Amino acid sequence: MDEKNLFVGRPNIEFAPAYAKYYFDRTIGQDDLLLALEKDLNDTANFIASLPESKADFQYADEKWTLKGVILHFIETERIFQYRALRFSRKDKTPLDGFEESWYAQHNNTDQRSFEDLRLEFIDVRKASISLFKGMSSSMLDWVGTANNTPNTPRNLGWIMVGHVIHHCNIIKERYLVDTDEAF
């Protein structure tokens, strides 16, 4: 099987947490994981570059993350999913703990970050994800591991990465860019 065909295949909901279906649904119409990761890399990097600095610390409601906080959230979540995908692809049977996203948000230091800094970090993290997946065989992509007491696979984690970023970019468009020329 050549490399391109290796990555063709939708996620398997049987080996995924319940929340994953929502993210999988954000990627409907795509069937090649590497192409989806690359397309989302370009789309998201361009989207972050278009964000107005005046909205950087905007929160659409009390107790919600700032716009920079949302971007850092999807970057950090992808890092965690990379680690899970690496462990699962190496047939590591050790159950992995979940993570509490609010802890990360409380200690993320976004005050010292710019959109450009976050954009470049997203590019680096996504390129690392693409490199990680490119190094996997078919059996590695579909090995079932456990995180947060739920089965998952590297392939599923890759699709979740794409859908998770799409979800948060849509939230940014709908809730953070209101009353601006950048609203989509």
For the segment 47-69, what is each residue's pLDDT rounded down to a tens digit?
999 999 999 999 999 999 999 99
8 Å CB contact between 95 and 146: yes
pLDDT at 3 over 70: no
Percent of the chain exceeding pLDDT 90 equals 84
Whether 140 has a pLDDT exceeding 90, the answer reads yes
What is the mean pLDDT of the segment spanning 33-43? 98
Flag whether pLDDT at 116 surpasses 80: yes
Q: Which residue has the higher pLDDT, 128 or 105?
A: 128
Q: Tell which wins on pLDDT, 91 or 4.
A: 91
Q: Please choose, from the candidates 40, 53, 1, 35, the residue with its C-alpha nearest in 3D space to the C-alpha of residue 163.
A: 40
Q: Give the pLDDT confidence score for residue 180 in this predicted structure.
A: 56
Contact indicator for 78, 129 with CB cutoff of 8 Å: yes
Give yes or no for residue 156 having a pLDDT over 80: yes
Distance CA 54, CA 45 (A): 18
pLDDT at residue 151 tops 90: yes
Q: How far is CA 26 from CA 20, 102, 165, in A?
A: 10, 23, 9
> Which domains does the chain carry?
3-176 (1.20.120.450)
What does pLDDT average to over the chain?
92
pLDDT of residue 108: 79
Determine contact, residues 33/6, Cβ cutoff 8 Å: no
- At 99, the pLDDT band (50, 70, 90 cuts) reads confident
Q: Exposure pattern of 24-54 as b/e (b: 16+ CB <10 Å)?
A: bebbeebebbbebbeebbeebeebbeebeee
Note the pLDDT of residue 174: 96
CA 73 to each of CA 65, 70, 164, 172, 184: distance values in angstroms, whole numbers, following the listed order: 9, 5, 10, 12, 21
Of the candidates 169, 138, 157, 164, the one whose C-alpha atom is nearest the C-alpha of residue 17 is 157
User: Does the pLDDT value for residue 41 go beyond 80?
Assistant: yes
The amino acid at residue 36 is A
d(CA 45, CA 60): 22
Tokens standing for residue 34: 């590497």
